[in-house]
Chains A and B, each alone.
Chain A
Amino acid sequence: MTATTIELTVNGIAQQLTVPDDELLLDALRRRLGYTSVREGCGVGACGACTVLVDGKSTSTCLALAVRADGAEITTAEGLRQDDAVVNSFIEAGALQCGYCIPGFVMMATELLSENPQPTPQDIAEHLEGNICRCGTYLEIRAAILAAARRRAETAASGSGSGSGLEARA
């Protein structure tokens, strides 16, 4: 198996990796770079636990080759800001039980709100259909996304900034 050197940005940090051509993006992110929010739940793109944003689009990293991410900007759950509306709405809504699938839902929700800032419950269901929460936290997740949409709208309206200004890339 040949290896290829790729350059990509993960959560704002430039990375250079030499990966075998058959290496999954999941393994590159989790095993090489330590982003353990990226999790294999099925290996066939059916559960959503390995979801990240690649150039803003949700991607099942268990089905994506690392070499194809050359030049990409990747966001994992670890990379969302301290004041991120989705993250904080999930926390406040108690939208988790075991928590294992939740970063995947957070990434899907982030994508949804960037495409559709005011989703209906039906829009949420359509967008999240491919993510499995076996504990059955879907109602809280839906509530959290609706709350995040409101939160974003309020933040945009007030034009308020956020946080201490002291924030590291993760």
Chain B
Amino acid sequence: MTDLPESGGAGAGAVGQRWLRADAEAKVRGTFRYTADEPVGRVCYVGVHHASRPHARIVAVDTEAARAVPGVAAVVTGADLYRALGDRLLSGPAFGDQPALAYDRVRYAGEPVAAVLAWDLATARTAADEVYVEYEDLEPVHDVDDAVAGGPFVHSELRPSAVFGDLAHLSGRTETNVNYEYNLRKGDVDAATAGAATTVRGEFWSPPTHHVPIELPCTTAWPAGDRLEILSTTQTPSYVRQAVSELLDLRLNQVRVRTRPLGGSFGSKMYDRFEPLVAALAWVLRMPVRMEATREEAFLVTTRHGVAVTGHMSADADGNIVAASADVRYDTGAYADIGPRITAKSGMVACGPYRLEAARVRSRCVYTNKPSAGPYRGFGVPQVTLSHETLVDELARARGEDPAAYRRRHLLREGDTAAMGTVMHSADFVGCLDAATAAIGWDSPLRREEGSWRWGRGVAVGMKAVLTPTISNAVLQLNQDATATLLISTVDMGQGSDTIMAQIAAEVLYLGRGQVRVVAADTDVTPYDTITAGSRSTYHTGNAVRLAAERMRDRLVFLGAERLGVSPTDCKLTADGVVSSSEQRSIALPELMHGYFGARGTTLTTEANYTTQWVPYDHETGQSSKVTEHWFAGAVAVELGVDTRTGRIRLRHVALAADVGRAINPTMVEQQLIGSAIMGTGQALFDYIVFDEGQMLNGTLLDYQLPSIKDVPDKITPIIIESPHRTGPFGAKGVGETVLIPFAPAVANAVRDAVGVRITTLPLTPERVLTALWDSANGGTTA
């Protein structure tokens, strides 16, 4: 590993340490300022009027009563904004299909139709109810498979955005709800299946769910001369700046986007959410405008895709997996958001991390009349993992083999070529599987019956590609007193990036905890970064930070050599400053900086870019020699009980193993693993959005179930696997999604083991478990 540092040496060693989080004390004491806590002066609040219909033509919007409410400053309809901005009002990361306010049609119940502005929030919200919209109902389409089959059509034509050039060929396509289709082809699946000894098939459904970060979205925008300033809860400040500059036809330097560390996000505060609406109102009305979303509005602004999968897996007489398939339908709701990218990224791994002789995937992104679905921790991969991890489990069982041992035999290894044509590196599936199963005592005896309880064990493996190609930048300022200020646009939202990036810089520069300060993203100050998402930051931003720090180190060595009057090749940076080995002399950084500039308080600046490249996949076959920069590999093993009287499931032990390349901060890695287990417990057992005729029925926290302290599994074992990545910063990769991906399938597999019943629809609620047990006992079908 040539890239591994000469760390280990005295003084360095920030990497691998369990540093406490940056700002831990302020966050515990409640004095830390999140986005909504920043002072912004007097602002006009937005109250949004939401559509009551899932699909309708807007005939008229009557704003008179709302305008008459005392304290209302303005009422703005979609038509008003469309008159001002034209087609620029339509935005979205993959398709320019979503208006900040609906102006001709509403496409989901809850869609913003009008904005009421008032100088106090209560008035704005009250007056929003006084807007009256006359609708002409259109036939809605609610079910993803109905939408695939034909009309009604949610959009009259497809409008790819300028962000992804490879979607351009879809422009203008009509009479379809399928906005994107990814295909993977390897070998002859039909022939291989026909000749197979064992074949298993399944239909799977993962329901729509919600991220529910506890911090609600808050966006404020105000004109400042010829500029627009935006302060927003966003994971994607660079993206928002670009989107708003396009929306308002402003130059990039006329738009400033700031954010603060977020109170959680999980994909919900990503791309543009309320920013286009608030920016448009602020710019058009020339006033400071603030949107504080309610929890109900946060539920409606984005969701996780409900996904249907039809899949199969076949083995020959020796057990080799000769064929696998997945027909995947992503319900992306009324607006595509990043759904087309999710469809492709998940489609490429929909047959699992196995050595497959033949594979076929058809993955489609489908409009329906529901709130838009977008990115959510795992980027669509958890939903297809339910399919391949159920199928491989059943294949093992059909052959009479142990599900863990069977997986082990067929998992991809270093150097193997995966189904989409990319060679595997630094993805230790076998190590993860072995560690997770060993932790729960997979091979130890299990008492399977206790009263009405049945106990069982299950395992699942997950595979995901990191977002590629992407761009990160870092600017590092070394202060004269040997502290440093790091300028990056990565957003800390609980994953701990401010701490991780500080550790990476500190490792190179021999600094300690508290000596590297990370500046919150501000597009006037911090350089471009694609997004904080998809577990990409540790690798990408981490590499940019490492490079910037190495340049700083080289600069310091050069300056130190000059001061010491020796050759730079004779010098190195250590905890004591720049040290000359031949002269046995050293110069501390504060002294070096002071000597160089002749002043106190000065700064020395370096910067670096880190950009990854890929080979775009073939549109017919999905094949690519390099579809991604690197892989996430993880495994979850579960021991659980099912109460056959009530259908209740109790998670007695979950073990989660993730290959993180190298743990920059083991505590934060473990928190990601444990946090995934807790979020995964909800997704496996009870967490889902209920729709009825397009209306979201449980979009409040009274109705939507989230894991509480009482839902935590009895025992959680996080396991860090380190298979260093050759180009990762100190070998590191991200970990935010790795074990959430196989979590729910591992639980479903353990339920199968406990009670002998296969359930392929999530979540595994007591009702669903009881129904499945009943059906099984009565010879019916499984749920």
Q: Do A and B bind each other?
A: yes
Using a CB–CB distance below 8 Å, which chain A residues touch chain B? 22, 35-44, 46-47, 49, 76-78, 80, 87, 90-91, 94-103, 106, 124-126, 128-142, 170
Residues of B within 8 A of A99 (CB): 21, 23-24, 27-28, 32, 261, 263, 494
B721 at interface (Cβ–Cβ under 8 A)?
no
B676 at interface (Cβ–Cβ under 8 A)?
yes
Residues of A within 8 A of B94 (CB): none
Scan B14-30; emit 1 where CB is below 8 A from any A CB, else 0.
Answer: 00000011011101111
Q: A41-B295, A96-B21 are in contact. Are A136 and B214 (CB under 8 A)?
A: no
Nearest residue (CB) in B for A90 is B28
Residues of A within 8 A of B294 (CB): 43
Using a CB–CB distance below 8 Å, which chain B residues touch chain A? 20-21, 23-25, 27-34, 36-37, 122, 211-216, 261-264, 266, 294-295, 493-496, 667, 671, 674-679, 700-702, 706-710, 712, 716
Residues of B within 8 A of A126 (CB): 710
Inter-chain contact A132/B264, CB cutoff 8 Å: no
Inter-chain contact A91/B216, CB cutoff 8 Å: no
Nearest residue (CB) in A for B678 is A136
User: 14 A-B contacts, Cβ less than 8 Å apart?
Assistant: A44-B295, A44-B702, A46-B700, A47-B214, A97-B264, A97-B494, A98-B261, A100-B262, A103-B30, A131-B709, A132-B708, A134-B213, A136-B678, A137-B671
* Least distance between A110 CB and chain B CB atoms (Å): 12
Inter-chain contact B709/A124, CB cutoff 8 Å: yes
* B contact patch SS: loop
Q: A97-B671, A98-B215, A99-B28 are in contact. Are A139 and B264 (CB under 8 A)?
A: no
Chain A-chain B contacts (Cβ-Cβ < 8 Å), number = 157
* Least distance between B337 CB and chain A CB atoms (Å): 21
* Least distance between A153 CB and chain B CB atoms (Å): 21
Q: A42-B701, A77-B29 are in contact. Are A134 and B679 (CB under 8 A)?
A: yes
Nearest residue (CB) in B for A140 is B671
Inter-chain contact B712/A94, CB cutoff 8 Å: no
Please provide the 9 A-B residue pairs with the shortest distance between their CB atoms, ordered closest to farther.
Answer: A37-B30, A100-B263, A98-B494, A99-B27, A136-B678, A77-B30, A136-B675, A103-B30, A42-B701
* Complex alpha-carbon distance, A137 and B678, angstroms: 9
* Least distance between A50 CB and chain B CB atoms (Å): 10
Inter-chain contact B261/A44, CB cutoff 8 Å: no
Inter-chain contact A98/B262, CB cutoff 8 Å: yes
Inter-chain contact B710/A78, CB cutoff 8 Å: no
* Complex alpha-carbon distance, A126 and B708, angstroms: 10
Residues of A within 8 A of B21 (CB): 94, 96-97, 99
* Least distance between B18 CB and chain A CB atoms (Å): 8
* Complex alpha-carbon distance, A5 and B495, angstroms: 44
* Least distance between B193 CB and chain A CB atoms (Å): 41
Inter-chain contact A42/B24, CB cutoff 8 Å: no
Inter-chain contact A128/B215, CB cutoff 8 Å: no
* Least distance between A45 CB and chain B CB atoms (Å): 8
* Complex alpha-carbon distance, A36 and B674, angstroms: 28
Inter-chain contact B27/A96, CB cutoff 8 Å: yes
Q: A129-B710, A138-B709 are in contact. Are A102 and B701 (CB under 8 A)?
A: no
Given contacts A131-B708, A133-B214, 19 further A-B contacts (CB under 8 A): A35-B30, A36-B30, A39-B214, A41-B701, A42-B700, A44-B700, A47-B214, A77-B30, A94-B21, A95-B28, A100-B215, A100-B494, A102-B30, A126-B710, A129-B708, A130-B708, A132-B214, A136-B677, A138-B712
Residues of A within 8 A of B216 (CB): 40-41
